[in-house]
Amino acid sequence: MRGERGTRGERSTRGTRRRGRPSLPWIAALAAAVAGGCAPAGDGRAPRAPAQQAAPANGAPEATPPAAALREQPPPSGPARLARMPAISWAELPTGLSVATAVHRALPLVEVRVVVHGGSAADGERTGLAALTGELLVHGGAGGLSGRELLARVASLGASLRVDTGLDATVIGLRTTPDRLAEAIELLGLVVQRPRLDAAELGKLKARAVEAALDRARLDDRWGARMVLFRDLYALPGELHPYASFAATAAELPKITAADCRAFHGKWYVPRNTVVVVAGDTTPEAVRAAVEKAFTDRRADEPPALSFTDPVPPGSLKITIVDRPKSAESELFLGVLGPERRDPAWPSFAVAGEVLGGPSGRLSQDLRARRGVARAAAATTLDVAHGPVPLVAHARAPSASTGLVAEELLAHAERLAATTPSQEEVEVAARRLAAGLGLAVETAGGLADEIVALQVLDLPDDHHDGYRRELRDITPVLAGKAAADHVRPSRAALVVTGDAQEIGPMLSRFGDVKVVDPTRAFARKRTIPRAPGGAPGQAPAPDGAAHAPAQDRP
pLDDT at residue 342, rounded to an integer: 85
Q: Is the pLDDT of residue 81 over 80?
A: no
Across residues 265-291, what is the average pLDDT?
A: 98
pLDDT at residue 39, rounded to an integer: 37
Q: Is the pLDDT of residue 67 over 60?
A: no
pLDDT at residue 76, rounded to an integer: 56
Q: Where are the domains of the chain?
A: 89-294, 313-552
pLDDT at residue 239, rounded to an integer: 86
Which pLDDT tens digit goes with each residue over 350-363? 999 999 999 999 99
Give residue 262's pLDDT band: very low, low, confident or very high (50, 70, 90). Answer: very high
Q: Is the pLDDT of residue 2 over 70?
A: no
Across residues 105-131, what is the average pLDDT?
A: 97
Q: Nearest 5 degrees, angle CA 101-CA 135-CA 294?
A: 40
Q: Is the pLDDT of residue 68 over 80?
A: no
| Integer Cα distance of 446 and 44 in angstroms | 34
Q: Is the pLDDT of residue 9 over 70?
A: no
Give residue 539's pLDDT band: very low, low, confident or very high (50, 70, 90). Answer: very low
For residue 447, the number of C-alpha atoms closer than 13 Å in the C-beta half-sphere is 28
Q: Is the pLDDT of residue 65 over 50?
A: no
Q: Is the pLDDT of residue 139 over 80?
A: yes
| Integer Cα distance of 76 and 95 in angstroms | 54
The per-residue DSSP string of 422-465 comes to PHHHHHHHHHHHHHTTTGGGGSHHHHHHHHHHHHHTT--TTHHH
Region of residue 381 (phi > 0: left; psi between -120 and 50: alpha; otherwise: beta): beta
Q: Is the pLDDT of residue 546 over 60?
A: no
Mean pLDDT of the chain: 85
Q: Is the pLDDT of residue 69 over 60?
A: no
pLDDT at residue 406, rounded to an integer: 98
Across residues 164-185, what is the average pLDDT?
A: 96
Give residue 272's pLDDT band: very low, low, confident or very high (50, 70, 90). Answer: very high
Coil/strand/helix, residue 532: coil
| Integer Cα distance of 421 and 97 in angstroms | 46
| Integer Cα distance of 91 and 97 in angstroms | 9
Beta bridge partners of 380: 392
| Integer Cα distance of 229 and 235 in angstroms | 10
Across residues 38-53, what is the average pLDDT?
A: 34
CB atoms within 10 A of CB 457: 19
pLDDT at residue 535, rounded to an integer: 56
The per-residue DSSP string of 160-194 comes to --EEEE-SS-EEEEEEE-GGGHHHHHHHHHHHHHS
Q: Where are the alpha helices (DSSP H) in 41-114?
A: 67-70
Give residue 401's pLDDT band: very low, low, confident or very high (50, 70, 90). Answer: very high
Q: Is the pLDDT of residue 85 over 60?
A: yes
CB atoms within 10 A of CB 105: 11
- Assigned architecture for domain 313-552: 2-Layer Sandwich (3.30)
First to last CA, the chain: 44
Give residue 75's pLDDT band: very low, low, confident or very high (50, 70, 90). Answer: low
| Integer Cα distance of 526 and 528 in angstroms | 7
Across residues 538-553, what is the average pLDDT?
A: 42
| 181 Cβ neighbours under 8 A, 6+ residues apart | 110, 112, 278, 282, 286, 287, 290
Name residue 354's amino acid: E
Across residues 167-193, what is the average pLDDT?
A: 96
Give residue 122's pLDDT band: very low, low, confident or very high (50, 70, 90). Answer: very high
| Integer Cα distance of 358 and 30 in angstroms | 11
Give residue 551's pLDDT band: very low, low, confident or very high (50, 70, 90). Answer: very low
The per-residue DSSP string of 357-412 comes to HSTTSHHIIIIIIIS---SEEEEEE---SSSPPEEEEEEEEEGGGHHHHHHHHHHH
pLDDT at residue 534, rounded to an integer: 64
* Least confidently predicted of 42-46, 287-291, 412-416: 42-46
| Integer Cα distance of 286 and 182 in angstroms | 8
Q: Cα 33 vs. chain centroid, distance in angstroms?
A: 3
| Integer Cα distance of 500 and 320 in angstroms | 10
Across residues 334-363, what is the average pLDDT?
A: 96
More confident residue, 308 or 57: 308
More confident residue, 365 or 71: 365
The H or E element that residue 330 is part of is strand 329-337
Q: Is the pLDDT of residue 162 over 70?
A: yes
pLDDT at residue 533, rounded to an integer: 75
Across 38-47, 514-523, 543-552, which has the greatest mean pLDDT? 514-523
pLDDT at residue 420, rounded to an integer: 97
Whether 89-294 and 313-552 share one fold: the answer is yes
* Least confidently predicted of 155-164, 439-448, 530-539: 530-539
Which pLDDT tens digit goes with each residue over 302-321? 999 999 999 988 889 999 99
Across residues 228-232, what is the average pLDDT?
A: 96
Pick the CATH number of 89-294 from 3.60.20.30, 3.40.830.10, 3.90.1150.10, 3.30.830.10: 3.30.830.10
Q: Is the pLDDT of residue 339 over 60?
A: yes
